[in-house]
Amino acid sequence: MKVLKESGFNAEKIVENGNKFLTANGYLGYRGTLDEFTKEECVGLNVAGVYDGVKGKWRETINVFNPFYLVAQADNIPLAARGENVLSHEISLDISKGLFDRKTTFNVNGATVTLECQRFVNAAEKTNLCSRAIISADRDMILTLKVGVDTDIWELNGPHFKDVKTEIGGNRIIACGVTQELGYSVKVYCDYSSPVEEFSGGFGIIKADIKKDEKFVLDRVAHVLLGKEESKFDKYDSAYKAHVNEWKRLWSAARIEIKDDDRAQFALDYSIYHLLILAPKGEYSIAARGLSGQTYKGAVFWDTEIFMLPFFLGTLPDCAKNLIKYRINTLPQARKKAREYGYGGAFYAWESQNGYDACSDFNVTDVFTHRPVRTYFKDKQIHISADVAYAILNYYNHTGDDELMFSGGLETILECAEFARTYSYYNHIKNRYELLDVIGPDEYHERVNNNTYTNYMFYLTAKRGVELAEKYACAYPERFKAVLGKLPENIIENLKNWLQKLYLPQPDANGVIEQFDGYFKLEDVGVEEVRSRLVHPNEYWGGSGGVATATRVIKQADVIMLFNLYPDLFSKEIQRANYDFYLPYTEHGSSLSHCAYALTACRTGDKSGAYKAFLDSAEIDLRGGGKQWAGEIYIGGTHPAASGGAWMTAVFGFGYRHKET
């Protein structure tokens, strides 16, 4: 399996490489930065599902103290990648083992000194991460290493810790702190294989004499502990062995081989790697930017259910179950949100932090006025509840897990359907129910009526929920009665009646389904024309006054996305007509978009279009692609949903067509 490498040091790529060379284990994510780097270079050790909010700022996941800070000197000359004495520099990521390596050589008064560091986040132990530094020279040298657990950390909306203190004990340095909002106790400690001396200012000094062509080795074994957690690894070698064995297990479940296409093979391997490093180790979920940092507040979006869950269903079903349980466990918060908006059922968080909706009313800042712009993602992207229900149904279709359905699954599906029913408006003139004032997957057009994706997704949610209810009423009457007792009175009969009159947009004479009411009346211009109207490169395209709002240009796949979730809903001819129609209008302003078109292209015969879109999805983090800004808000990081989309394209797109032929 190919190793990702980059030679030469380029300061402009520090942030990009932090994402590109990320290592993680589903709980901890360590950005691909260098040992001597600090918060200025966006060093981040992110923790899944642990949030903190500082008054007046967004809540977000926490980055914790950096245990691997190391600044080396040889004969009092600094060994740093930014230095003028660098002879060569290379970083690499072995995705077969989840290993990050750096190797830098320096000129030290005419001698050559080499600094190598290997690092991994232990796949076999969620709290553990390790690093081994090796320093050698072609003449005798005196080494001085400044080491410690750096508490001056990179945060987007911090500071998240109070009562921070650092102490030393033997060869161990410990940093402790308490989160501001909920008072979580966090301890990060690092054990060193060499004596730590002269401890001051939170850092220690390690000194050593090295002989010509001999190697000085420093092992660092670190742990991130919340509360009273403990960890079992205290030696680098034993942790490394367990870590590598776990990666063998993961790849044995997940590897897909592509014949005669090295580029596609590595792109898919890299995508799978980015999914495997996010496999949850408990009943929590995966953030939209994974473990690459605090972007999007570390919140969970529909990305997980629609784009990532299929991978785990096909490879690591226990992890898939954890993702489903996360949504079932947060049903109370979804019910509460629905009530707050005046509806019944369950309205799930658009940006979920353990069920709490972290989505702001003002998600974008105007680049001209520098004022926040009111957006309606939290209020109007109601399809999130249909997406959650779809995920539970998808899990059930793969597993037949009746126990999970009786442990909240069926209840959640029906409550999501009930939310849509109570949200809907009965049009007496047209004798039908409509879903008005919504946002579909295309976020450039807010507050539209009868978005095709939204209407169909809720129709199919309610239809399948009613079918399951009737099945369980016959097969398990007592257990079903217990579920029914938790739901609104007459919910099944009400949903049946609603299904008969819910409006479902139909294809026109050309086979095209209008994305929402009035879409065909919008200005008929393409993506490049709209792009040419930008005055500032970071302008937001949508909202009330965006350059795309009054046009047919859309952010991402919308109608096309529906075809991928329910490929038998419309004929291939209808799907191809919509593919051909909407593709020229799609900006692909979301990393979720390319894979949606790739899948439909596979089904409808556009092989070259499918291949291009597959690579656009699979290589997004390899290329350093994707938008970094929405207005003045930083949205950079990895794109695990695109990785999931690449896997789906390989399996359900190219794989399906290969089987067909």
Among all residues, which ones are annotated catalytic?
443
Q: Helix, strand or coil for residue 398?
A: helix
How many other CB atoms are found less than 10 A from the CB of residue 409?
A: 25
Q: Which amino acid is at 39?
A: K
Helix (H) or strand (E) holding 193: none
User: DSSP string of 547-601?
Assistant: TTTTBS-BSS-SHHHHHHHSTTSS-HHHHHHHHHHHGGGB---STTHHHHHHHHH
| Count of helices and strands (H, E) across the chain | 21, 26
The DSSP result for 15-40, as a single string, is HHHHHHT-EE-SSEEE-S--TT--GG
Q: Exposed/middle/buried for 403, CB within 10 Å: 0-12, 13-18, 19+?
A: exposed
**Distance of alpha carbon 413 from alpha carbon 397, whole angstroms:** 14
Q: How far apart are CA 254 and CA 270, in angstroms?
A: 12
- 104-112 — which CB contacts under 8 Å span 24+ positions? 104/9, 104/79, 106/74, 106/77, 106/79, 108/74, 108/75, 108/77, 108/79, 108/137, 108/141, 109/75, 109/77, 111/137, 111/138, 111/139, 111/141, 112/87, 112/137, 112/138
Q: Taking a C-beta distance cutoff of 8 angstroms, is the pair 511, 578 a contact?
A: yes
Neighbours of 177 (CB within 10 A): 23
Strands (E), 264-361: 352-353, 356-357
- Give helix 262-276 / helix 236-254 axis angle, nearest 10°: 120
SS3 143: strand
Asked whether the beta carbons of 87 and 107 are under 8 A apart, the reply is: yes
The DSSP bridge partners found for residue 130 are 120, 221
Distance of CA 111 to the CA centre of its chain: 45
Task: Please give the full DSSP string across 401-436, using - where no structure is assigned.
Answer: -HHHIIIIIHHHHHHHHHHHHHH-EEETTTTEEE--
**Burial status of residue 318 (CB atoms within 10 A of its CB: 0-12, 13-18, 19 or more):** exposed
CA atoms within 13 A on the CB side of 502: 29
Crossing angle of helices 410-423/452-475, nearest 10°?
Answer: 140
CA distances for 187 relative to 124, 155, 176, 180, 643, angstroms: 20, 17, 4, 15, 32
Walk across the sheet containing 45-52 and list its strands. 23-24, 28-30, 45-52, 60-63
Residue 270 CA to chain centroid, in angstroms? 15
Gap between the Cα atoms of 401 and 394, Å rounded: 11
Q: DSSP string of 490-521? A: THHHHHHHHHHHB------TTSPPPSSTTGGG
Contact between 223 and 134 (Cβ < 8 Å): no
